[in-house]
Amino acid sequence: MSQTMQSYIDEAEQALLHTYNRYQVVFEKGDGVYLYDMDGKRYLDFVAGIAVFALGYHNEEYNDALKAQIDKIIHTSNYYYNVPAIEAAKKLKAVSGMDRVFFTNSGAEAVEGAIKTARKYAYLKDGRTDHEIIAMNHSFHGRTMGALSVTGNPHYREAFEPMIGNIRFADLNDFDSVARQVTDRTCAILFETVQGEGGIWPATEDFMRKVRALCDERDILLILDEIQCGMGRTGEMFAWQRYGVKPDVMTTAKALGCGVPVGAFLMTEKVGENSLKAGDHGTTYGGNPLACSAVCKVLELYEKLDIPARVRETGAYLESSLDRVAAQFDCIRERRGVGLMQGLVFDRPVGDIITRAMDKGLVLINAGTDIIRFVPPLVIDRQNVDDMTAILTESIREVCGGR
């Protein structure tokens, strides 16, 4: 006898650790920019697995590449070379302008590697082990202990203290606040080029250029977290490329594998030659042939479909559409974001609006309690935006009323 959607939800509540407050739906399949639950109901997806499924669901070329690799070999470990990893690294270097790549299994692991890189770089200069990293308030870099230590939200950290230590916090887009935190022990300044969980806050060009100059002057490493905002989401392959402010170390994940768990941290040749060496870092699964075949195909399809240009066009349309929605409701304070990474800021919690939208066949997600975040597949079109705004407007009106 087949199980119902509710029976699966009931089983999950008995079997899975309760670290998520999940929506009451079981998604069974996806196609294009739509998800389908077990009852066959269709949902327009403006979450994309939290900015992961950039190419949409059921892309045949992507699926075929993974199937072909499964039939060859899935895993060997990093004691040996494998062709997909070599090809993926070459392609990733080409689109990022970076020089060295280390593949991980997730974004949080990429941040861990970036932190270790910075500390080893500084250690090799002076032999000290008390170096500090400056991170940003309201940032989010992951849930592992190192990544959590540089996440600028005390609520996430307080139950798990002590953190790794020697972390100072400044404010994004406030250069003076960064400069005040710099000491002779500072080894890195780390921030998201566009803050995601913290409220869809893009770093300004002025801030980035001043931090870059400071890092150059003091031989401090600039680490940019591009896990959510990278891979074409802002209209450039990586958000820092909008301003040409190149980091010394960069993290990426999410859309890098478009569903296959894979991340990476990348660095310049100078940092690569003067930081992590054999035995300093490792991973069993990272860079395995299956994950890297996904990276190869994703980067190939990005080029074939010219995803960044597509995002610039559709992102501009999404911005103007959300601005029109915001103009209709007093409960919306502002829209902010760039490309297909947008947020509407409300004067109240947005949970009820997101639930109403879900009931009407639209999948949305929050960024904090009062912001609806829009991170759809990068292959959406204008009609998808129109369909989304129609449902969104109706859902807001039901919760907030008119002006």
What would the pLDDT profile of 198-247 be if each residue is shown by its tens digit? 899 999 999 999 999 999 999 999 999 999 999 999 999 999 999 999 99
Provide mean pLDDT across the span 336-362: 97
| φ, ψ at 253 (rounded to 5°) | -170, -135
Query: Could you give phi then psi for residue 384, rounded to 5 degrees?
Result: -60, -40
- Residue 263 phi, psi dihedral angles, 5° rounding: -140, -175
Q: Which CATH number fits domain 73-305: 3.30.1330.30, 3.40.640.10, 3.30.450.40, 2.40.50.100?
A: 3.40.640.10
pLDDT at 191 exceeding the cut of 90:
yes
DSSP 90-148: HHHHHHH--SEEEEESSHHHHHHHHHHHHHHHHHHHH--S--EEEEEBT----SSHHHH
| pLDDT the model gives residue 403 | 62
* Spatial CA neighbour of 197 closest among 373, 22, 322: 373
The residue type found at 271 is: V
127, burial (CB in 10 Å: exposed 0-12, middle 13-18, buried 19+): exposed
| pLDDT (tens digit per residue) in 259-300 | 999 999 999 999 999 999 999 999 999 999 999 999 999 999
User: What DSSP element (H or E) covers 62?
Assistant: helix 60-72
- What values do phi and psi take at 62, rounded to 5? -65, -50
Q: Are 27 and 346 in contact (CB under 8 A)?
A: no
Which part of the chain has CATH 3.90.1150.10?
Answer: 5-58+306-400
| Contacts of 276 by beta carbon, 8 Å cutoff, 6+ apart | 102, 113, 116, 117, 120
Class of residue 271 by CB neighbours under 10 A (exposed 0-12, middle 13-18, buried 19+):
buried
Instruction: Give Cβ neighbours of residue 174 (< 8 Å, ≥ 6 apart).
Output: 207
Contacts of 325 (CB under 8 A, 6+ apart): 332, 344, 389, 392, 393, 396
pLDDT > 90 fraction of the chain, expressed in percent and rounded? 97
Mean pLDDT for the chain? 96
CB 181 within 8 A of CB 214: no
* Mean pLDDT of the region 366-380: 97
Residues of the chain within CATH 3.40.640.10 domain(s) are 73-305
What does the pLDDT average to over 47-58?
97
Domain at 5-58+306-400: CATH code: 3.90.1150.10
Burial (0-12, 13-18, 19+ Cβ within 10 Å), 287: buried
